[in-house]
Amino acid sequence: MAYSEEIRKRRTFAIVSHPDAGKTTLTEKLLLFGGAIHVAGAVKSNKIRKTATSDWMEIEKQRGISVATSVMAFDYADHKINILDTPGHQDFAEDTFRTLTAVDSVIIVIDIAKGVEAQTRKLMEVCRMRKTPVIVFVNKMDRDGKDPFDLLDEIEEELQIKVRPLSWPIDMGQRFKGVYNIYEEKLDLYTPSKQFVTESVEIKDINSPELENHIDPDLAAKLRSDLELIEGVYPAFDVETYLKGDIAPVFFGSALNNFGVKELLDCFIKIAPSPRPVQAIERVVDPEEENFTGFVFKIHANMDPNHRSCIAFVKICSGRFERNVNYKHVRYDKWMRFSSPTAFMAQKKETVDEAFAGDIVGLPDTGNFKIGDTLASGENLHFKGLPSFSPEMFMYIENADPMKAKQLNKGIEQLMDEGVAQLFTNQFNGRKIIGTVGQLQFEVIQYRLLHEYGAQCRWEPISLNKACWIESDNVEMLDNFMKRKVQYMALDKDGRNVYLADSAYVLTMAQHDFPDIRFHFTSEF
């Protein structure tokens, strides 16, 4: 097959974490290894730099948080690495969920002191749903934290995934000495203040007295007994089980001190999947097929009021994408070609002539694309698997300027297509309800409606707890339910029935009283 070499070299993944666990620091260290950046601190300042060089995210500038999701690509050891960045702020969790539909694997960063946190739990849920292979990096070993065995138990319990340590720490905090790299059977020693592994010795037999030449006898004894316990408790590492998403290998290190990062990367390129087959409604698409296919997983708005342009981020699922070649926009049944597709090499955005399965291309757009749209070399394919989750917060959206009703409706429609939030239309009174995962999104919507569409909106509180997509084979019961709950029934953007429950209690009662109705908390079921 023509492009198989290119495609097998690719590793497209996301690093996710609860804010502050060290995602940005780890990303930066990976970029340093790839030679994509040369000084530490470049990624951190990227949050500022991004807004300085483009006007994409005016809001970002104002609030100092990274709203954007972008791509960082670099070459490392004959592999092409594509890291998809995800917004750190949890109000933009939906963006992160969607980005996870475009990756082939994930690295989860966990802080040794804080353990599994709320955001990590949610993200892992998405990975589990999609069977995405996950590697865990336990960060901040230079600080005191939880006992590593306790943390592994916590990960298994809280994230509902089996784990398998592939490295093991030797002490922690100020006494942190390094790790035994189980995967490569070597001892990697750490010196505080040095930004790399200061000594690396192969020790295949952990019982060899050689170990005592490098670490104190009591630490050596502890390491031996820890490793014995690991071998006894955890199954041997098996790549296939990892690739199926059934087991997560675990590494320990310190991103800030660049310790354990290269080891993680070296193992990652060996075991992490290259682009995987993608399920479309019609059939499974293999990345090595010659014909180009891809889908839009993210739309990044240009916040400049004078140009309402966006960049649609397309994940290439198969074949080769070429500049200035006609591809079919399946939903529109229209051929389109792109004269300036961009790729994201390191931190630069540049025009590309070609890209392969696993890569992400950015297509300048003026409102043609919606999240989930398919582009293909001709075949009528529809990629699936971009679920909406029940929002956490709800507000009625009202028009505050009667002269601009049209603009408001257009703005709402386009922002929803971009995936900024979800729109529900009440079936009883026709009022529009916007659902989000965080307060910030309401502000983003109001700001963008005004600046990009010249429309003004007003929010009116509504007390709702959850949106549930409902279905049933029992038509009579469904009908009955919808009549009884008529004030709480809405349609989502695709015209599907959604029950908006006003409290957890009412929802539980409804589930109890209407046993033949299935209540779904995501739109994909």
Task: Please state, in angstroms and rounded to a whole number, the distance separating the CA atoms of residues 382 and 266.
Answer: 35
**Residue with smaller CB distance to ligand G4P, 19 or 515:** 19
132 near ligand G4P, rule: CB under 6 A: no
Count CA atoms closer than 13 A to 191's CA, side-chain side.
Answer: 8
Judge contact between 433 and 500, C-beta under 8 A. Answer: yes
- Write the binding mask 36 to 75 for ligand G4P: x where contact by CB under 6 A, - elsewhere: --------x-------------------------------
Q: Of 11, 80, 140, 315, which one interacts with ligand G4P (CB under 6 A)?
A: 140
The torsion of the CA quartet 344, 277, 102, 80, rounded to 10 degrees, works out to -30
Enter the tokens of residue 421: 């939030």
Q: Which is nearer to ligand G4P, 23 or 315 (CB)?
A: 23
Q: Is 194 in the site for ligand G4P (CB under 6 A)?
A: no
List the Cα angle 185/190/195 in 5-degree steps. 115
Q: Which stretch binds ligand G4P (CB under 6 A): 67-75, 137-145, 326-334, 512-520?
A: 137-145
10 contacts: CB under 8 Å, gap ≥ 6: 79, 80, 82, 274, 275, 356, 357, 358, 359
Toward ligand G4P, which CB reaches closer, 65 or 477? 65
Minimum CB–partner distance for residue 83 and ligand G4P (Å): 13
Element (H, E) at 42: helix 42-53
The nearer residue to ligand G4P, 6 or 85, going by C-beta atoms, is 85
**Given the complex with ligand G4P, which of 65 and 491 has the nearer CB atom?**
65
The residue within the footprint of ligand G4P, chosen from 7, 10, 14, 21 (CB under 6 A), is: 21
- Positions 80 through 99 that interact with ligand G4P (CB under 6 A): 88
Q: Which of these ranges, 253-261, 370-378, 476-484, 492-500, lies near ligand G4P under the rule CB under 6 A? A: 253-261
Q: Which is nearer to ligand G4P, 66 or 293 (by Cβ)?
A: 66
Pick from 10, 12, 22, 32: which binds ligand G4P (CB under 6 A)?
Answer: 22
Residue 138, CA distances (Å) to 17, 46, 146, 247 in order? 11, 24, 11, 16
**Using CB under 6 A as the criterion, what x/- string covers residues 143-172 for binding ligand G4P?**
x-----------------------------
Task: Give the span between the Cα atoms of 72 and 81, in whole angstroms.
Answer: 8
In 175-301, beta strands by DSSP E? 178-181, 186-189, 199-202, 247-252, 278-279, 284-285, 293-301
Number of H helices, E strands in the chain: 14, 31
Distance CA 223, CA 218 (A): 9
Shortest CB 120 distance to ligand G4P, Å:
10
Total binding residues toward ligand G4P, as defined by CB under 6 A: 18
Alpha-carbon span 287 to 4, nearest angstrom:
8
Binding residues (CB under 6 A) for ligand G4P: these are: 17, 19-25, 44, 88, 139-140, 142-143, 254-257
